[in-house]
Amino acid sequence: MHNNSTKQGKVLVVDDNEDLLRAAKLFLKRHFRQVDIEKDPEAIPNLLRNEQYDVILLDMNFTKDVSSGHEGFLWLSKILDIDPSAVVVLITAYGGVDTAVRAIKEGATDFVLKPWENEKLLATVMSAMKLRESKVALDRLKSRHKQINDTINAKFKDIIGQSAAMLKVFETIDRVAETDANVLILGENGTGKELIARAIHSNSSRSSEPFINVDLGAISQTLFESELFGHVKGAFTDAKESRAGRFEIASGGTLFLDEIGNLSMPLQAKLLTVIQNRNVVRVGSNKQIPVDIRLICATNMPIYEMVKENTFRQDLLYRVNTIEIKLPPLRERVDDIKLLAEHFLKFYAKKYNKEVRSLSQAVIKRMEKYHWPGNIRELEHALERAVIMSSEHILQPEDFYFNPIHHSQEEGVLLEKFNLEEVERILIRKVLKKYDGNITQAAHELGLTRSSLYRRLEKYGL
């Protein structure tokens, strides 16, 4: 027999037969912390308002000689209205099995036949209790997930921009969000590709489902399949447990594949198969799992040139680029710089509780001339740093740190060092600077193809 302190769970039994109620209470009390009994179903709403029951045992028929179960259905649906995650076990007489089966379809958890055997009743209530525990845990997880999502989305809510280019982007988001069309977002680092992807998701009918973000540039070749498609226990040495991949987790919602241009050819082929079939197979299994996702991809690579150079599959590109959004670099949307800078100033002044109020004209002029290789992310960090460091109300050019590369310094290095790699790195930086980061022009001047220039940029971390 259990002792009182270890007993768990609250059970409510509703039946018009007082003998049955008494017997149920006597027996269940030995196993559960609290057992309430009620013979009048009209009292149910009130009871549920005052107590959180884990399991409710509910009779199907209350009026004498009526065995249709109508009343049971009525009370079942009332209970589920009050508490959608209530766990209701129906009590039904022999012969009422069909009704009980229908009740389960309508949301009951299980049923017991009366007269019952105590051990059977106990087993039923015990497993109902377990179900309740997982429902409560799931509800908690869901609301935690929602809270996290809301916090992220709040940050992504304000998309600042009034330049013609951004207005066009807003219009496209409006048009495509509601559709399930695949979207490809192109733009340099820090131009707001993820922000736009989230905006599309939160304006779509999938907004209450997850937005799952995968940085393909950060996933190693060996982990690619298991990360994206999942694996079953024992599929490889480290696979101690079965795990769903990002495609499966995103099902119902939006999958954002960032840096799609960084995928190797073999991985592009694997990705294409999944996108075409809308099915994933976990590593180590051969079961097809259907996935329902809205796909948004992004890259800062010159993807069309890569197709020409056979480093990116054309069929994959045509799968993902149904709608294309080009985000111009910040230096090409000069109209937005002041607006963005003031937005970040306000945000960080509030965050760090500083009295910084505005930007001097000189700062704005300087910003509008600067080439912003890191785009909006760089602008945001510049403002965060300036707000933290400054003790004035108005920020001045000295509060910022523009353009860390100095010509004279580099030339000095060039003359002193004869290491080929070092010289190559410096040359590339200089040419890039000359063309304001324009890869095509820089590659042309250096006598390289764009993709070999990209490879070097990566190699030298430029």
Ligand X SMILES: Nc1ncnc2c1ncn2[C@@H]1O[C@H](COP(=O)(O)OP(=O)(O)OP(=O)(O)O)[C@@H](O)[C@H]1O
Nearest CA-CA partner of 110 in 72, 62, 67, 57 = 57
CB 340, min distance to ligand X, A: 6
69-74 contacts, C-beta under 8 A, 24 or more apart: 69/96, 69/99, 69/100, 69/102, 69/103, 71/41, 72/99, 72/103, 73/102, 73/103, 73/106
Binding span for ligand X by CB under 6 A among 48-56, 63-71, 156-164, 283-291: 156-164
Peptide bond into 115 cis (omega under 30): yes
Region label for 179, one of left (φ > 0), alpha (ψ between -120 and 50) or beta (otherwise): beta
CB 329, min distance to ligand X, A: 10
Sort 270 into a burial class: Cβ within 10 Å, 0-12 / 13-18 / 19+.
middle
CA distance 408 to 327: 33
Q: Are 149 and 156 in contact (CB under 8 A)?
A: no
Determine the 3-state secondary structure of 35 from DSSP: strand
Binding flags for ligand X, 171-210, as an x/- string (CB under 6 A)? ----------------x-xxxxxxx---------------
Q: Do β-strands 279-281 and 110-114 pair in parallel, antiparallel, or remain unpaired?
A: unpaired
CB 57, min distance to ligand X, A: 52
Binding flags for ligand X, 25-64, as an x/- string (CB under 6 A)? ----------------------------------------
Q: Which is nearer to ligand X, 80 or 457 (CB)?
A: 457
Q: How many residues bind ligand X (CB under 6 A)?
A: 18
CB 339, min distance to ligand X, A: 9
Binding span for ligand X by CB under 6 A among 26-34, 176-184, 372-380, 452-460: 372-380
Interface pick for ligand X out of 93, 122, 160, 181 (rule CB under 6 A): 160
Q: Are 175 and 322 in contact (CB under 8 A)?
A: no
At 85, give phi and psi (nearest 5°): -105, 20
In Å, what is the CA distance from 67 to each residue of 14, 70, 72, 99? 16, 8, 10, 10
Q: Which is nearer to ligand X, 159 or 235 (CB)?
A: 159
CB 145, min distance to ligand X, A: 21
Residues from 316 through 345 that contact ligand X (CB under 6 A): 340
Q: At 379, which helix (H) or strand (E)?
A: helix 375-389
CB 8, min distance to ligand X, A: 46
- Based on the shown chain and the rule CB under 6 A, indicate whether residue 131 belongs to the binding site for ligand X: no
Q: Which is nearer to ligand X, 81 or 215 (CB)?
A: 215
CB 429, min distance to ligand X, A: 19
CB 188, min distance to ligand X, A: 7
CA of residue 413 relative to chain centroid, distance? 46
Amino acid at 455: R
Interface pick for ligand X out of 377, 385, 429, 430 (rule CB under 6 A): 377
CB 191, min distance to ligand X, A: 5
Q: Which is nearer to ligand X, 190 or 373 (CB)?
A: 190
Residues 6+ apart with CB under 8 A from 293: 247, 250, 251, 252, 253, 254, 255, 278
Which residue's beta carbon is nearest to the bound ligand X? 192
Beta bridge partners of 349: none
Binding span for ligand X by CB under 6 A among 125-133, 153-161, 242-250, 311-319: 153-161
Interacting residues toward ligand X by CB under 6 A: 158-161, 187, 189-195, 258, 300, 340, 376-377, 380
